[in-house]
Each structure stands twice: as structure tokens, then as C-alpha cells.
């Protein structure tokens, strides 16, 4: 489908000849020459946004000359000018956890537009959409050669309803492609294959136009591709659906924080160590809602795979994106990964012509800056429950001891007691536990050859997983070399450690096999389990039953170590309380030790075949060893061969049968796919925003409540509301799958909202999990309380602390909130994506002002809340809020409405962004 661009092209539209071919493009220097402003010192990341506006100038209603001039003013004002603009990304990227509900919404919109008398074919992506199925594979089988095949078979058994639905969507919708299961992780597939850095398309006049490759994705780690100078970030599925239907993204011109990198990495450190330090620094700096752009001489020593790791973690440091401009390394990577030579030539020519090239004189204006000498980086991990909790490796065991002490002191009267497994034949005497023994618990589980002891700090999961690190051949080859050296010395994983290797693309297996390293990884338990997110998204699969029982019977603090990007509470496994992020080589090393209490930086990690102590330094490869193997095995040919049939899939995918109907025939008995209620009974005209009167409090929550807390992705138990729903429909517990896999069924997801096993509602004293007080004042589940309030016609509010909605971009954190009847959230601050998602679902976000917090106000959750001024609300307006206590006393406070832009007011008036789009499309047709 041709792109439609602005019609006033005389000022800024120019021609570019590359390799004998001519392209049209929108020139930033030409805009300067036309008197639109001085853009010469804009950061490259902001020039990408500026070009987007130039291309759509005078398109009819969304971009004005003043919008373009605002970028010049941004530079004049030192990197600040928060003007509202309309931005149109070139394409959309999805994964299946967030993609299934997005396609469900599109299918429901087709039903909805027909009910309004419109044309179902109006509901079609106008921009290219790629959906990569990567979130569904679960690690049921591990540590043996059949693990991959067994896990794939179980994946299809569990998810055939979802895959049938996605295959229908691939046929029913234009501009919609699906990358089948078993191919890779969406961000790695995007980086290695889909992304082009400079995109091309034909316009309405038949001319080929070159412009920066940009996208939004329904996964927060869409930012990974910024490592290749592709501007992209995560949005909720709601916002992505609006974007693919042609709705521009309303945003403010962002601040851009410059992060200067100097020096180079020293021997024994990895890109993971670097990114964990970057996350810590930027979280301390505070970059929520801002772009971060990396610059400085250190980039000359930073391979693109390392850049992509840093860019990937942008959600962890809170930024909208972490951008690396185009330079020689960008071109080298594009060539290595199999991109066409004419595309690489175009990228270089375009970036240089349009001022987006990073050369030695690159020195833009930034809103603020910070600096890091990469030569100061040391080995590190992060945890036990937030990515920004940086820990130098040599202090990891002592920091874990402090964590256990804080967890145990005063909380458990039996903290100093030793507990034992009373299996057949009894159990041996407990051995000493390193660290602060007075605060450790110990337990036993049955195993082959007798009983094994586990205790606080036993590592029960060690997983090489996620796009963050498996996209980086330097750390993956490094992990393989650690495995090889460990194997040579006779070391292997501890028997209680569940080990797994889940690369982000098949190319990784190709070069590990070529280097002979997969055999070494297999030998110590890191067999291939699948190509997907696995442990990082909570699909770590069940632990062996005796280990799980021991952890829960004795209330042990089991730990995991993973090469992922998220370690939020309750995410990795319901049996694991402490989770640590680490480089793949360190994941292997920790599997050999099996205990977070051991200081692996200095203590022996095991004994060799002759009984001699082995230290980490004895099995750690040199940078030269790693670089030599990377150079030898990571080839252009490997990328080209593995991506040759990326959309074809295996025999299982090809055998999935579906219909070619225009609208979806919703199976009434499906527990995976249901027609959501959003558009049922919707009229053609929007309503108005009502004041909130007499609302009750559903939950009072603390700081850093993540979207994992609000809408968990992992497994759930039979006694939960979601579990009970499935049991009532004769679904056995073994077939529950996960919350993430059931996001196409609103009934399951409503019941899972605020149901994370570690969430703490401050309305209740010391209770963990999805509970609150119902209308009768008694403790009940959040879902049951919300339904009781809905039956009584009572609106609900949520109170929360700082950084509310951090983490994943999942739209269900907002959808579930809305379906529970929550009309407003009042928090100290928000993460960017979740605030947008709340607005997109018709829930109004507010912020405390004047130093007020839930704590300073002494909120108990027993209060009623009224908010006025909403019937005449303006963006970012402050409004009065009355909080009435049970005794009738009142507190009058002022809160700030976080409806940030004028178009967002229209979204709220319509009941959400999809309602807004649907009404407009229905009227147009």
C-alpha cells in the first residue's frame, strides 16, 4: 500500500542518488534553507522525529509549520520545548502475549464497525505489522537432548487455539505477517532481519521515498533496535492498534539526555556488566519519558551487539528509548547480518545527507548529560527484585546475606531453626551454610542417591535466556567457553539447579554449533529448550516436585540467576523469591556453584577431577579467545540461511488449519479467545467526562508497582479467581498454561488483575497477593470485591506511590484495571507506557501535588473519594479531590490530571482510544 505523505513538497523534498538508483527524501538541511529554523545541533534521535513531521507536513490536519519550528526552539532553549506533536511510526512490531489481545481487539472492532453500519474492511492495518510468536514456549523439559522437541510439542498442545486465531488474522488482515513459533524472539528477529535503519516505500504518486526506519512495538523491549539507529519504543497494544490503523501517536517533544561513553571494556568484563551499570546510573539520574542518546569516543570500541544490549534495557532505566546514531559500526553490523548491499549504501548516504551520521565531530545539544568510562566497569549482577539493584560481583554473597537478614529478622519466629526432610531412610545432618548463618533456613528434598540439602540462597534456576543477552555473540560464545573449561575440569551443574538455554534466534545455535560449544553446554545441562523468551517472561516451567515442596514446606528463599532483563517479584517462578540478572557466562558459573551464598569472585566454585580447588578465573575465557571465535563463526551466511524462510514455519505451523472469513467466528467454548466487551452497545457519538463521586478504594499500593504486579504473566494456581474460572469450565490444572497465554480471554485476565503473588495491598496488614477489603469490610480477592462494587454501581480508585506501572508495556495492566471498574488512579508518579495505556482504556491517571502522598495523608483504604472539575478538564490541569474518612471527616487535596494532551481528552470522552478510532472509521465509511 503506498504511503501518503505531505503534499507541500517544494521546500524540503529532495532527491538522493545511491548506486545508480534515485530516491526522494525529506531533507533537514533543506528545511533550514527554507527558513524553518536551525536544526544543525539536534541529536540524531530527535532529527528522526523531525523528519517524520517534515514528511507529513500539510497532510491535512496533524502537522503544522509551527510544529517543525518547535524543534529549532528546542535547541535554542537548551533541549526543552514540550510541544505536543503527532508522530507516525513506519511499522509496528508485536509478540504473541501482547499480539493476541491486539488481534482480538481488531477482530472485535470489525464486529463493532459492522454494528455501527460501517465497512469491516476499514479495520485493517495501514502500516506493516509483524507479529513474532516467542512468548509461549515453556520449559517443561530441560537438561537432555530431547528438551527442545518436547517443549515445542507441549507448546502446540497448549496454544493451538491461539495459533489458529493468529493464522486467521494473518489471512484476514492486510499488512499483517506472523513469524511462527520456534524462530526466535521478536526483538532479536527485528534487529537481525526486519529492521533496515533506512526504510523505503512508494508514496501516493508512485515515487520511492527513503526515510528513517521507525516503529512502535507491543513489548517494552522494542527499544533494542535503537542499537542499530532505528527509533522504536514500546507501547501498549491499545496504542499500537491505533497506530496501525493510521492514528498518529500524540506525544510531547521529548527531552534528550546525552550519555557519553569513553574508554573501552577491560579484560574479564562483559556487555552485561556494562548495561547493569548504565541502568543503575540512569535510574538514579531519572529519565522517565525522555530519550537517552549515547555518544562519545567509547562508541568506537562498542560492537553493535553490545549497543543493542544497552538499548534493550531502556525500560529498565525508565527512558522512552536509548538511541545510538548511525556510524561505521552500524554499517558493519548490517553487512554481517545479511542486509542487501544497496540498502547498506543507502543507509550511509542518507544518514550523511540528512545530518544523522555520528562522525568524530558529532556534538549535539542535549537537555542534560552524564558520562561513564567503560574501563571502570567490573563484573556485576543485579537483584534480587529490580534491574537497577546493581551489585558488584565480589560483594554479591554479602549483599545476599544482608537481604536474607532483612527478610527474616522479626518476621519469622523460626528463622534460626533447622528444618529437615523426613524421607525414607531419614536425612543426613545439615551442613553449614556460608554467609550470615543465623538468618538462614535449611531444608531437604528427596533425590537420586538419597537426600539433598537446599537452603536460603540455593540457586534452583540458571537460565541463559532473553533477547537482551542472547543477541550478543560475545557473551554467548563466552558462556560456551566457560562451559568448555568447566567440563574439561570435571565440573557440572549442581543437581538442584534447573538449567536452560533459550536463544533469541536460530543463528545463535548455528554459531554455537560451528564453534563446537553447544556440546560443552549440553554436557553441563544447558541444552537447547526452545527459541523464545522462556524464563525471562516467567515461562521457566515447574521445578522438580520434591524441590518445589521443600521450598514451600520450609519457606526457603530460593534464587534464580538469568541472563534476562526483568527480575520483578513473582515473575520468574512462584517458587523463587530472589532473582538475579547476570551475563550468560556468569549464569553458567552460578549453575556450577548452585548457591548465592558463595562469593564466586574469590571462593572456589568446585573441585576438579583431582580434588583441586577451581576458581572462576580458571574457567573464564580471555577477550581474545572470545573475539577469535566470534570472528570465525558469526557469519553473514549464517544469518542469510536462517532467515531465508522466516515466515514459513515448521510442519506443525503449516498444519494449523483456519478459515478465511472476514470476521472471526468466536468459539463460545474457548478459554483462550473470547470477544471482549469493549465495543458492545457502543453508539456513534462519544460521551462526556464525568466527575467522580463517592468512589471506594480498591487498593493502596507502594512504590515501583510494576505491570507484572498489576497483570502478571506467569502461572497461577487453582484457588485463584482465574483458576476457579477455568476449573468451572473443566480445564485441568495441568492445562492452565499462563496468564500471558490467556490474554485473548478477558474473563481470565480480569480475574488476574492485581493478582501477583507478591503484590502488597496496604489496606491489609502483612498480606501478600491479590486481596483487598470488600464492601462489607471483610478480606476478599480484588476481583470479587470489584465485582461486588460494580453490582452496587460504585466507582473505584487506586492509590499508589512512585513509578507506578514500571516494567512491561502490557496493555492488560490497563485493560484489567478498566474492566474492574476503576475510574482513576492517583499515584506519586507514573512510568510512561502505563500512563498512556490507562488513558487509552478510559482510566484517568492523577498525580499527588504539594508533597502529598498516600502515607502523608494516612490513607487506609476505608475512605471514599470524589474528584471534581473533570467535566471541563484541560491537559495537565490540577483539580480538587475530597477524601472522606469513615467518621465523616474530610481532607481536601489538589491532584494533577495526567491527561497530557488535547487528543487524550478526546480518548477519555470516547471511553478509550480504540473507541475513538472506531467511531471515526465508522463515520468515514
- DSSP track, 748-800: HHHHHTT--TT-B-TTSSS-BSSEEE-TTS-EEEHHHHHHHHHHTT--EEEE-
Tell me the pairing of strands 380-382 and 390-392: antiparallel
Of 371, 369, 455, 393, the C-alpha closest to 418 is 455
Q: What is the mean pLDDT of the chain?
A: 91
Cα separation, 866 vs 549, whole angstroms: 47
Name which residue leads in pLDDT, 692 or 436: 692
**Is the predicted pLDDT of residue 432 greater than 60, yes or no?**
no
Highest mean pLDDT among 232-241, 316-325, 463-472: 316-325
Supply the angle between the helices 913-924 and 237-244 in degrees, to the nearest 10: 20
Name which residue leads in pLDDT, 418 or 611: 611
With bands split at pLDDT 50, 70 and 90, how would you rate the model's confidence at 570? confident
- Quote the pLDDT of residue 775: 97
Eight-state DSSP code of residue 690:
P
- Quote the pLDDT of residue 416: 30
Determine which of 162-176, 401-415, 579-593 has the lowest per-residue pLDDT on average.
401-415
CB atoms closer than 10 angstroms to residue 631 = 10
CB 373 within 8 A of CB 263: yes
Residue 599 dihedral angles phi and psi, to the nearest 5°: -80, 95
**Is the predicted pLDDT of residue 743 greater than 60, yes or no?**
yes
**Is the predicted pLDDT of residue 277 greater than 60, yes or no?**
yes
- Quote the pLDDT of residue 419: 32
With bands split at pLDDT 50, 70 and 90, how would you rate the model's confidence at 451? confident
With bands split at pLDDT 50, 70 and 90, how would you rate the model's confidence at 138? confident
Please tell me the CATH code under which domain 692-924 is placed: 3.20.19.10
- Quote the pLDDT of residue 220: 87
- Quote the pLDDT of residue 57: 79
- Quote the pLDDT of residue 810: 82
Tally of residues, the chain: 925
With bands split at pLDDT 50, 70 and 90, how would you rate the model's confidence at 425? very low
Cα maximum dimension of the chain: 88
Three-class secondary structure assignment of 650-684: CHHHHCCCCCCCCCCCCCCCCCCCCCCCCCCCCCC
Q: What is the pLDDT of residues 257-268, one digit of tens each?
A: 999 999 999 999
CA angle, residues 815, 816, 819, in degrees to nearest 5: 85
Determine which of 136-150, 218-232, 868-882 has the lowest per-residue pLDDT on average.
136-150
Cell numbers at 512, concatenated:
554455537
Name which residue leads in pLDDT, 572 or 61: 572
Residue 158 dihedral angles phi and psi, to the nearest 5°: -70, -35
**Is the predicted pLDDT of residue 423 greater than 70, yes or no?**
no
CB 128 within 8 A of CB 175: yes
What is the average per-residue pLDDT within 394-409? 90
- 344: helix, coil or strand? helix
- Quote the pLDDT of residue 247: 85
End-to-end CA separation in angstroms for the chain: 19
- Quote the pLDDT of residue 337: 96
State which H helix or E strand residue 896 sits in: strand 890-897
CB 50 within 8 A of CB 73: no
- What is the percent of the chain with per-residue pLDDT over 70, rounded to a whole number? 95
Q: What is the pLDDT of residues 543-552, one digit of tens each?
A: 999 999 999 9
CB 493 within 8 A of CB 525: yes
With bands split at pLDDT 50, 70 and 90, how would you rate the model's confidence at 63? confident
CB 818 within 8 A of CB 790: no
- Specify the domain boundaries for CATH 3.20.19.10 within the chain: 692-924
- Quote the pLDDT of residue 443: 75
Superfamily of domain 380-624: Aconitase, domain 3 (3.30.499.10)
- Specify the domain boundaries for CATH 3.30.499.10 within the chain: 380-624
What is the average per-residue pLDDT within 617-636? 96
What is the average per-residue pLDDT within 232-258? 90
**Is the predicted pLDDT of residue 648 greater than 50, yes or no?**
yes
CB atoms closer than 10 angstroms to residue 687 = 12
What is the average per-residue pLDDT within 514-538? 92
Cα separation, 148 vs 142, whole angstroms: 8
Of 149, 99, 171, 169, the C-alpha closest to 651 is 149
**Is the predicted pLDDT of residue 136 greater than 90, yes or no?**
no
With bands split at pLDDT 50, 70 and 90, how would you rate the model's confidence at 538? confident
Cα separation, 428 vs 414, whole angstroms: 21
Cα separation, 71 vs 80, whole angstroms: 9
What is the average per-residue pLDDT within 240-247? 87
- Quote the pLDDT of residue 431: 39
CB 107 within 8 A of CB 663: yes
Which residues are CB-neighbours of 696 under 8 A, at least 6 positions away?
A: 775, 789, 794, 795, 796, 797, 864, 865
CB 917 within 8 A of CB 903: no
Of 585, 680, 711, the C-alpha closest to 911 is 680
Amino acid at each position: 500500500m503506498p504511503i501518503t505523505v505531505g503534499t507541500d513538497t517544494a521546500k524540503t523534498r529532495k532527491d538522493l542518488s545511491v548506486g545508480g538508483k534515485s530516491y526522494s527524501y525529506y531533507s533537514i538541511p533543506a528545511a533550514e534553507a527554507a527558513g524553518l529554523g536551525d536544526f544543525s545541533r539536534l541529536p540524531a534521535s530527535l532529527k528522526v522525529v523531525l523528519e517524520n513531521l517534515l514528511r507529513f507536513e500539510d497532510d491535512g490536519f496533524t502537522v503544522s509549520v509551527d510544529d517543525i519550528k518547535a524543534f529549532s526552539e528546542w535547541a535554542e532553549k537548551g533541549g526543552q520545548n514540550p510541544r505536543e506533536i503527532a508522530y507516525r511510526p513506519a511499522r509496528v512490531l508485536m509478540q504473541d502475549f501482547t499480539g493476541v489481545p491486539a488481534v482480538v481487539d481488531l477482530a472485535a472492532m470489525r464486529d463493532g464497525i459492522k454494528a455501527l453500519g460501517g465497512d469491516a474492511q476499514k479495520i485493517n492495518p495501514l502500516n506493516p505489522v509483524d507479529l513474532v510468536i516467542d512468548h509461549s514456549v515453556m520449559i517443561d523439559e530441560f537438561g537432555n537432548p530431547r528438551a527442545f522437541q518436547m517443549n515445542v510439542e507441549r507448546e502446540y498442545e497448549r496454544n493451538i487455539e491461539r495459533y489458529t486465531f493468529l493464522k486467521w488474522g494473518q489471512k484476514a488482515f492486510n499488512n499483517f505477517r506472523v513469524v511462527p513459533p520456534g524462530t526466535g524472539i521478536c526483538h532479536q528477529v527485528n534487529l537481525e532481519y526486519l529492521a533496515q535503519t533506512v526504510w523505503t516505500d512508494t508514496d501516493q504518486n508512485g515515487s520511492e521515498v527513503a526515510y528513517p526506519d521507525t516503529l512502535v512495538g507491543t513489548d517494552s523491549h522494542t527499544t533494542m533496535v535503537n542499537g542499530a539507529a532505528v527509533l522504536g519504543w514500546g507501547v501498549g497494544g491499545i496504542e499500537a492498534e491505533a497506530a496501525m490503523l493510521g492514528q498518529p501517536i500524540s506525544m510531547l517533544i521529548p527531552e534528550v539526555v546525552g550519555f557519553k561513553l569513553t574508554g573501552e571494556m577491560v579484560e574479564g568484563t562483559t556487555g552485561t556488566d556494562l548495561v547493569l551499570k548504565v541502568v543503575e546510573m540512569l535510574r538514579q539520574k531519572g529519565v522517565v519519558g525522555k530519550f537517552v542518546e549515547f555518544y562519545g569516543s567509547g562508541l568506537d570500541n562498542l560492537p553493535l551487539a553490545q549497543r543493542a544490549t544497552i538499548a534493550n534495557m531502556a525500560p529498565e532505566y525508565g527512558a522512552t528509548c536509548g538511541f545510538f546514531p548511525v556510524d561505521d559500526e552500524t554499517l558493519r553490523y548490517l553487512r554481517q547480518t545479511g542486509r542487501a548491499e544497496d540498502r547498506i549504501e543507502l543507509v550511509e548516504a542518507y544518514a550523511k545527507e540528512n545530518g544523522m551520521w555520528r562522525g568524530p565531530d558529532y556534538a549535539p545539544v542535549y537537555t542534560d548529560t552524564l558520562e561513564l568510562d567503560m574501563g571502570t566497569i567490573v563484573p556485576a549482577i543485579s537483584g534480587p527484585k529490580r534491574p537497577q539493584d546493581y551489585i558488584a560481583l565480589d560483594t554479591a554473597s554479602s549483599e545476599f546475606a544482608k537481604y536474607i537478614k532483612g527478610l527474616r529478622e522479626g518476621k519469622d519466629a523460626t528463622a534460626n531453626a533447622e528444618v529437615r526432610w523426613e524421607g525414607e531412610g531419614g536425612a543426613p545432618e545439615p551442613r553449614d551454610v556460608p554467609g550470615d548463618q543465623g538468618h538462614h533456613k535449611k531444608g531437604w528434598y528427596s533425590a537420586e542417591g538419597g537426600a539433598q540439602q537446599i537452603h536460603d540462597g540455593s540457586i534452583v534456576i540458571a537460565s541463559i535466556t532473553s533477547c537482551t543477552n542472547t543477541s550478543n555473540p560475545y557473551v554467548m560464545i563466552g558462556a560456551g567457553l566457560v562451559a568448555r573449561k568447566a567440563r574439561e575440569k570435571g565440573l557440572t551443574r549442581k543437581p538442584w539447579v534447573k538449567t536452560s538455554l533459550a536463544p533469541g534466534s536460530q543463528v545463535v545455535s548455528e554459531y554455537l554449533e560451528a564453534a563446537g560449544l553447544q556440546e560443552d553446554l549440553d554436557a553441563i545441562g544447558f541444552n537447547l529448550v526452545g527459541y523464545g523468551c522462556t524464563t525471562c517472561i516467567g515461562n521457566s516451567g515447574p521445578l522438580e516436585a520434591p524441590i518445589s515442596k521443600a521450598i514451600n514446606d520450609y519457606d526457603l528463599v530460593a534464587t534464580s540467576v538469568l541472563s534476562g532483563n526483568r527480575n520483578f517479584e513473582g515473575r520468574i517462578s512462584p517458587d523463587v523469591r530472589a532473582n538475579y540478572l547476570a551475563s550468560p557466562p556468569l549464569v553458567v558459573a552460578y549453575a556450577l556453584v548452585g548457591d548465592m551464598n558463595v562469593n564466586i569472585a574469590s571462593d572456589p566454585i568446585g573441585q576438579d577431577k583431582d580434588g583441586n580447588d577451581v576458581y572462576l578465573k580458571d574457567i573464564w575465557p580471555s577477550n581474545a579467545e572470545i573475539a577469535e571465535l566470534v570472528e570465525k563463526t558469526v557469519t553473514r551466511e549464517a544469518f542469510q540461511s536462517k532467515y531465508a524462510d522466516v515466515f514459513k514455519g515448521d510442519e506443525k505451523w503449516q498444519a494449523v488449519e483456519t478459515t478465511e472469513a472476514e470476521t472471526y467466528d468466536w468459539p463460545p467454548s474457548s478459554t483462550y479467545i473470547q470477544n471482549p466487551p469493549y465495543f458492545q452497545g457502543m453508539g456513534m457519538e462519544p460521551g462526556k467526562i464525568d466527575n467522580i463521586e463517592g468512589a471506594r478504594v480498591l487498593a493502596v499500593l507502594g512504590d515501583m508497582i510494576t505491570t507484572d504486579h498489576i497483570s502478571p504473566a506467569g502461572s497461577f494456581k487453582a484457588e485463584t479467581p482465574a483458576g476457579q474460572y477455568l476449573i468451572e469450565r473443566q480445564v485441568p490444572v495441568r492445562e492452565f498454561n499462563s496468564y500471558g497465554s490467556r490474554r485473548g480471554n478477558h474473563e481470565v485476565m480480569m480475574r488476574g488483575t492485581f493478582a501477583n503473588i507478591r503484590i502488597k495491598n496496604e489496606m491489609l496488614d502483612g498480606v501478600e497477593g491479590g486481596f483487598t477489603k470488600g464492601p462489607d469490610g471483610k478480606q476478599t480477592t480484588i476481583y470479587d470485591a470489584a465485582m461486588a462494587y460494580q453490582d452496587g454501581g460504585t466507582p473505584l480508585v487506586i492509590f499508589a506511590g512512585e513509578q507506578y506501572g514500571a516494567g512491561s508495556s502490557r496493555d492488560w495492566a490497563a485493560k484489567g484495571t478498566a474492566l474492574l471498574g476503576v475510574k482513576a488512579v492517583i499515584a506519586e508518579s507514573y512510568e510512561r507506557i502505563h500512563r498512556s495505556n490507562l488513558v487509552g482504556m478510559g482510566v484517568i491517571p492523577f498525580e499527588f501535588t504539594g508533597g502529598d502522598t498516600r502515607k502523608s495523608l494516612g490513607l487506609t483504604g476505608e475512605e471514599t473519594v470524589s474528584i471534581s472539575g473533570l467535566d471541563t478538564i484541560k491537559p495537565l490541569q490540577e483539580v480538587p479531590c475530597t477524601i472522606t474518612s469513615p467518621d465523616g471527616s474530610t481532607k481536601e487535596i489538589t491532584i494533577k490530571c495526567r491527561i497530557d494532551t488535547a487528543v487524550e481528552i478526546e480518548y477519555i470522552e470516547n471511553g478509550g482510544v480504540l473507541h475513538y478510532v472506531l467511531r471515526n472509521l465508522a463515520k468515514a465509511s
